[in-house]
Structure formats: structure tokens, C-alpha cells
Amino acid sequence: MRSFEYYKPNSIEEAIKIMSGLDNAKFIAGGTDVMVQLRQKKISPQHLISLRNISELRNIDTKDGLKIGSLVTHDDIDKNEYIKKYYSALTDATSRLGSKQIRNVATIGGNICNAAPSADTACPLLIFDAKAVIIGTKGEREVDLNEFFLGPGKTVLEKDEILKEFSMPRLKENTGSAYIKHTRREAMDLPILGVATRITISLDKDSQIRCRDLLCTIDSISNILMQLKDEGLKCEEARIAMGVVAPKPIRAKKAEEALAGKIISIELFEEVGEIAASEAQPRDSIRGEAWYRKEMIKVLVKRALMKSIDRIVRPDEEIYPERLW
Ligand SMILES: Cc1cc2nc3c(=O)[nH]c(=O)nc-3n(C[C@H](O)[C@H](O)[C@H](O)COP(=O)(O)OP(=O)(O)OC[C@H]3O[C@@H](n4cnc5c(N)ncnc54)[C@H](O)[C@@H]3O)c2cc1C
């Protein structure tokens, strides 16, 4: 490994100033991507600027919606009960990202700035309509996360810009979300495919009790969906995001449109899964072939939507519909 100069600024302004005065420099947060790339000689910066001393990047603010600083670690997110309750898909992602050791140091900002199509936190952030708040020499700007990724390893960040935080709006009542990471094995693995969904449904108290009983007792997803149709639950708003199906994590916007305003049914979920699969352009890779990824999108969209609904109907349950698949 080549030697490099190491800098430890204490503020965002100082970090930007150092970066703007240097050539061939790189920001480093937890270092779990940067150090691997250094060792593999994929990058060879002469200067590393650590962000770890910048405490203002470590905030989690839940006052109005959710703001998460770029330096917040996956473990910090995992432990946050507010995020787990209201932005559950994000906890689904961080709880299975890497190993405990990785989660202790790796940051959400690093996961997104590294811009891997498989980045586990990307799909959850996309379904929560996250905006990336960016600071550079020209001042502060906000970029919709949809526009942030340009391709594998590429983002809209300019050389001297720092990702400060992600800002997400407050969610409506009766909203649930889920992220399903499809891997070969349960322990430390990158996803073959990742699907996140968020759904808001119309739900009154009586209907909630009946649906709760359904979700507790019935033995298969298809049967639950058939019975839920009788309740006339309507999808008011939905988001679907997919990872490892294109050069960057994407929203399945046509599938979202197909869901909005409709009564939930097995036919609808199957149609939505088909549409989401048609919006993906996966490729063959060492982890899975394109045709397999397309088929699994149909399955995982249905499952993630089911899990999102389950979280609305049975908010205090820890046993999710995974027991049925
Ligand atoms: C063993 C192992 C297992 C892993 N498993 C997973 C997994 O299951 N899922 C997954 O998604 N990833 C996984 N990763 C990848 C990695 O851990 C994550 O992407 C992690 O979140 C990166 O965060 P970091 O803080 O370590 O980033 P760093 O390595 O410090 O930085 C990554 C990139 O982001 C830039 N950067 C970081 N912060 C900022 C900022 N605030 N502003 C501007 N630029 C910034 C850096 O310059 C660099 O280009 C794994 C890595 C390892 C080594």
C-alpha cells in the first residue's frame, strides 16, 4: 500500500478547506470501503481526510420527520427505537449489513457516497423520499436521492463537497415499510437483490382488529391477501425501490402508480410485481443471473408489501410474515 498524508479536521468548513487545497485527496469516514479499495489498489489517493472528528455529522434528529447525519453508523441506526418503529425498512437494512464489527464503524454516508448498486441503505432511503444535504465551497444544496447516484461508484458530489445528512419527511398515519435483502446465506453477504417498499393504507379500528386476526392465524401469504381483499383496504400511497437491478439503485415508479388508489388484493400485488420486474435491467453476475433477479423481484415486491402492511396492522408484533415464506 502506498503511503498517504492523513488529516483530521474538526469541522465541515475545515474539511472542505483542506480538500479544496489538495489534489488526489479522498474523504474517509468508517473506511470500510476506502481501505478495501486502497488495498486492492483500485484507488491511490495521496491524502486522506478523515471526517470522524466532525461531531455535527453524527446527529439523528426526529423532531419533524427524520434527519440522519452522514457519519451515523449502521449500529447507531440499529439501536434507534424511533427509526425502528417509523422507518422500519432502514433498520431492516442496517441490521443485516456486514458484520457487527463493520456496523460499528461503517457509516450511512459512506454506504451512499460509495454508490455501489448493492448498497443496502439506498433502497430504504429512496422509499422514504430522502434528500441528500450537501455542503461545499459554493454553499449548501439539497439533492433528491433519486438524482444523487449517477452509476456504479459515481454520484453528483463535486470534489470538495461533503454529504452532510439525509433529510426525510414525516410519514402519514397507517404507513408501514420493509426492506428485504435476498442473499445466498444469512450471515455477512452482499444482496443478490434488495427490495424496499412503503405503503399507506386506509384502515379503521374494526378493520384493524379483523386484519390482525387474519395475519396471526392464516397459513399462507396468498390466503391472507385473498382475505384482506374483503376488507377493502385501499392503498393511498406507495413507494418501491430496488437494488442490484440496474447500474444504480432505482425506484419502480410505474409499479408505484399501479398500486396507488387501488384495493389491496393478490391480483394487484402480482400485477405490481410484474410491472416492477419490467422496470429493472439486471445483468448476470457472480451472485445471480439476470433472469433469476427478474423472477425474484416479483416474489420480493409481494413479500415486502405484505410485511409493510403487517407492520401497520400489528405494530407491536416481532413475528413477521416471514414465518409464511
Ligand atoms: C466485510 C465487509 C462487509 C460489507 N458488507 C456490506 C453489506 O452487507 N451491505 C452493504 O451495503 N455494504 C457492505 N459493505 C460495504 C461498506 O461497509 C459500506 O458501504 C459502508 O457503509 C461504508 O461506510 P464507511 O463509513 O466505511 O465509508 P468509507 O469507506 O469511509 O467511504 C466510502 C466512500 O464514501 C466517501 N464518503 C464517506 N463519507 C462521506 C461524506 N460524508 N461526504 C462525502 N464523501 C463521503 C468516501 O470518500 C468513499 O469514497 C461491507 C464492507 C466490508 C469490508
CATH of domain 175-324: 3.30.390.50
Whether pLDDT at 156 is above 90: yes
Percent of the chain with pLDDT over 70: 100
Q: What is the pLDDT of residue 2?
A: 74
pTM above 0.85, yes or no: yes
Distance, CA of 119 to CA of 167 (rounded, Å): 18
- What's the mean pLDDT in 51-65? 97
Integer-rounded Cα radius of gyration of the chain:
20
Pairing of strands 5-7, 47-50: parallel
Query: Can you list the alpha helix ranges (DSSP code H) found in the chain?
Result: 12-20, 34-39, 74-78, 81-86, 88-95, 100-105, 108-113, 122-127, 145-148, 205-217, 221-231, 253-259, 266-279, 290-313
Distance, CA of 116 to CA of 247 (rounded, Å): 8
What ligand 1 atom has the least distance to the C-alpha of 36? 53
Q: Ligand 1: which residues within 6 Å by Cβ?
A: 26-34, 36, 51, 70, 97-98, 102, 106-107, 109-111, 113-114, 118-120, 157, 162-163, 188, 190
- Say which residue, 230 or 52, is predicted with more confidence: 52
Q: What is the pLDDT of residue 152?
A: 96
Q: Helices then strands (H, E): number in the chain?
A: 14, 14
Q: What are phi and psi of 271, to 5 degrees?
A: -65, -45
The model's confidence at residue 228, banded by pLDDT at 50, 70 and 90, is confident
Distance, CA of 110 to CA of 175 (rounded, Å): 28
Enter the C-alpha cell of residue 321. Answer: 410474515
Q: What is the pLDDT of residue 222?
A: 81
pLDDT tens profile 296-323:
999 999 999 999 999 999 888 877 788 7
Q: What is the pLDDT of residue 1?
A: 61
Enter the C-alpha cell of residue 107. Answer: 457509516
- What's the mean pLDDT in 183-200? 91
- What's the mean pLDDT in 211-232? 84
Domains of the chain, by residue range, sit at: 5-116+130-168, 175-324
pLDDT tens profile 83-133:
999 999 999 999 999 999 999 999 999 999 999 999 999 999 999 999 999
Distance, CA of 263 to CA of 211 (rounded, Å): 14
Cα–ligand 1 centroid distance for 170 (angstroms):
27
Q: What is the pLDDT of residue 323?
A: 76
Q: Angle at which helices 290-313 and 221-231 pack, to 10 degrees?
A: 50
Enter the C-alpha cell of residue 173. Answer: 398515519
Q: What is the pLDDT of residue 119?
A: 97
* Fold match flag (5-116+130-168 vs 175-324): no
Tell me the CATH architecture of domain 5-116+130-168: 2-Layer Sandwich (3.30)
Q: What are phi and psi of 193, to 5 degrees?
A: -160, 140
Contact 91, 77 (CB under 8 A): yes
**Average pLDDT in the chain:** 94
Distance, CA of 67 to CA of 212 (rounded, Å): 32
